[in-house]
Amino acid sequence: MESNIKEDLILFNELIDVFLKDEQKNPVSNIVSTTELYEKLDFSLQEEPMILPDYKNHLKNLILNTPKSSSKLFFNQLFGGRQSKAVLGDLLAVFLNNSMATYKIAGAQVGVEKEIINKVCEIIGYGNKSGGTFPTGGSMSNFMSLIMARDKKDTSIKDKGINQKLIAYGSKNAHYSLEKNISFSGIGKDNIRYIDTNNKGEIIAKELERQLKKDIDLGYYPFYLNATAGTTVMCAFDKIKELSDICKEHNVWLHVDGAFGGAVIFSNRHKALIEGVSESDSFCFNAHKTLGAPLSTSVLVVKNKKNLYNSFSNKATYLYQTHNEEFNLGQTSFECGRRNNALKFWTMWKAIGTKGIEKIVDRQFELADFARKYVINNTNYQLYSFDDSLSVCFNYKDIDPKDLCTKLYENNKLMIGYGSFNDDTFLRLVTINNQVSKKDIKDFFDILESFVSDNMGELKKTEINN
Ligand SMILES: *Cc1c(COP(=O)(O)O)cnc(C)c1O
């Protein structure tokens, strides 16, 4: 079988047709356990080429045995759904195969990326010195913000290494990438201060202030606060305005990690959750989470673009041969060759408008409200989360949430995960897929309840600890 793109695109359509029909009929794929994996599927790579009908069958078998992350019964992760115009853009990006490093190789695609960055900066009120980039995901966005903060504190660190006691601050509920990033940066995990949170999981500003003063008195150099707009488990929003006042007073970089909840910037109804973001130094959100773009679509913006150049530009004569740094986007990115992750967001935004994006966000909050009300109005449920959150955290009939999630999965009923906050563990229903309906949410509860009633004997109960 030779390389023939036209034929392969026909094959692609054929495979997707099979996949979409199956997704309708079986929103949860039959799970393949790790022990059956190599019996059920043939992954072997052989010396000889394969003939087309066999090849096609192998591909069908593979995609039909892959978890269906875009179906209406997938609530397992902070991404879900499928915005078709974004998928279209991503398919085009694969086909075009530009690298975003220079204008010479990306050309018009540079305009696509810059327009999104400019628009996001405008929406959050970052002013005319702002800029940004499309890192590989939220973890990388957080990493880049940390490096900018480090280099802003002392530009000589880039050359000489770290000689001062730099201290970073984050919420107790900050995403785990903070911990990895601080180790990669050479600052070290022991130099993060995890600040206590209130009963929703928001940073207690007074605690931050107390810790900052203590560290300064001891001769340390506070340089970075990682605040969260939508914590990963409970979807709590730190009070950015209050935190930014404290950060400014102590010359600490404020990064707002909005990987999960940051898309509220698009919603007039919900943007108050992130009030004060215009005062932050950097901000990121994942359009692959809340907006239904394919993985990964992460936007990082920075109030003063100089910081991006300062930390990420480098000389490379084999790469930068034409145009200036304004259009050679590799001067502000971590990667060298970089995938075009902006196009899918642009094709979607262009098609549905900013108003369409607002609708997506509003819809997710409506679905969460619907689910939360169901939990509140039903005595067999206990709710752990709160209003204005896209995570609906609950337990049902004192059943052990870990056991319930696992058995729902093993029986091909639902894809849902559990989370913990303080001493509680619970199921976490995330209404991240705006294409599900209220009826689908109701179906979710029906499936869960009938599964429990059929399997009551085998399900573990939560241990009550007083
Ligand atoms: C998901 C998430 C991240 C990580 O984003 P990736 O794109 O998965 O690397 C960071 N922060 C928060 C709050 C998240 O929910």
Q: Of ligand 1's atoms, which has the minimum distance to the CA of residue 258? A: 13
Model confidence at 248: pLDDT above 70: yes
pLDDT tens for each residue of 423-452: 999 999 999 898 999 999 999 999 999 999
Q: Are 254 and 279 in contact (CB under 8 A)?
A: yes
pLDDT tens for each residue of 371-400: 999 999 999 999 999 999 999 999 999 999
Q: Are 80 and 286 in contact (CB under 8 A)?
A: no
CB-based contacts of 415: which residues, under 8 Å, 6+ apart? Answer: 28, 67, 69, 73, 74, 75, 76, 408, 409
Is any ligand 1 atom within 6 A of the Cβ of residue 177? yes
Task: Enumerate the β-bridge partners of residue 75.
Answer: 416
pLDDT tens for each residue of 88-125: 999 999 999 999 999 999 999 999 999 999 999 999 99
Is any ligand 1 atom within 6 A of the Cβ of residue 228? yes
Q: How many Cβ atoms from other residues are within 10 Å of residue 160's Cβ?
A: 9
Model confidence at 466: pLDDT above 60: no
- Going by C-alpha positions, the residue among 278, 277, 273, 299 that lies closest to residue 287 is 299
CA of 231 to the centre of ligand 1 (A): 9
Residue nearest atom 10 of ligand 1, based on CA coordinates: 138
Query: Could you identify the residue written with the tokens 């909005």?
Result: 258
Is any ligand 1 atom within 6 A of the Cβ of residue 296? yes
Residue nearest atom 4 of ligand 1, based on CA coordinates: 138
Rounded-to-integer distance, Cα 369 and Cα 319, Å:
51
Q: What is the mean pLDDT of residues 14-41?
A: 93
Looking at every residue in the chain, the average pLDDT score rounds to 95
Is any ligand 1 atom within 6 A of the Cβ of residue 29? no
Q: What is the mean pLDDT of residues 325-335?
A: 91
Q: What is the mean pLDDT of residues 36-65?
A: 94
Q: What is the mean pLDDT of residues 58-73?
A: 93
Is any ligand 1 atom within 6 A of the Cβ of residue 175? yes
CB-based contacts of 448: which residues, under 8 Å, 6+ apart? Answer: 396, 404, 408, 413, 414
Model confidence at 317: pLDDT above 50: yes
To the nearest 10 degrees (0 to 180), the angle between helices 5-25 and 52-64 is 40
Model confidence at 316: pLDDT above 80: no
Is any ligand 1 atom within 6 A of the Cβ of residue 171? no
pLDDT bucket at 146, cuts 50 / 70 / 90: very high
pLDDT bucket at 276, cuts 50 / 70 / 90: very high
CA of 138 to the centre of ligand 1 (A): 4
CA of 146 to the centre of ligand 1 (A): 15
Q: What per-residue confidence (pLDDT) applies to 464?
A: 61
CA of 238 to the centre of ligand 1 (A): 16
Is any ligand 1 atom within 6 A of the Cβ of residue 139? yes
Q: Of ligand 1's atoms, which has the minimum distance to the CA of residue 286? A: 7
Q: Of ligand 1's atoms, which has the minimum distance to the CA of residue 231? A: 13
| Strand order across the beta sheet in which 131-133 lies | 131-133, 298-302, 282-286, 253-258, 221-228, 166-171, 192-195
Which residue among 144, 175, 184 has the greatest number of ligand 1 atoms within 8 angstroms of its CB, and so is best to mutate? 175
Is any ligand 1 atom within 6 A of the Cβ of residue 260? yes
When computed from its CA atoms, the radius of gyration of the chain, rounded to whole angstroms, is 24
Q: How many Cβ atoms from other residues are within 10 Å of residue 20's Cβ?
A: 12
Which residue among 76, 180, 197, 260 has the greatest number of ligand 1 atoms within 8 angstroms of its CB, and so is best to mutate? 260
CA of 232 to the centre of ligand 1 (A): 7
Model confidence at 236: pLDDT above 50: yes
pLDDT bucket at 465, cuts 50 / 70 / 90: low
Where do the H-state alpha helices sit in 381-429? Answer: 401-410
CA of 458 to the centre of ligand 1 (A): 35
Instruction: Pick the more confident residue, 313 or 246.
Output: 246
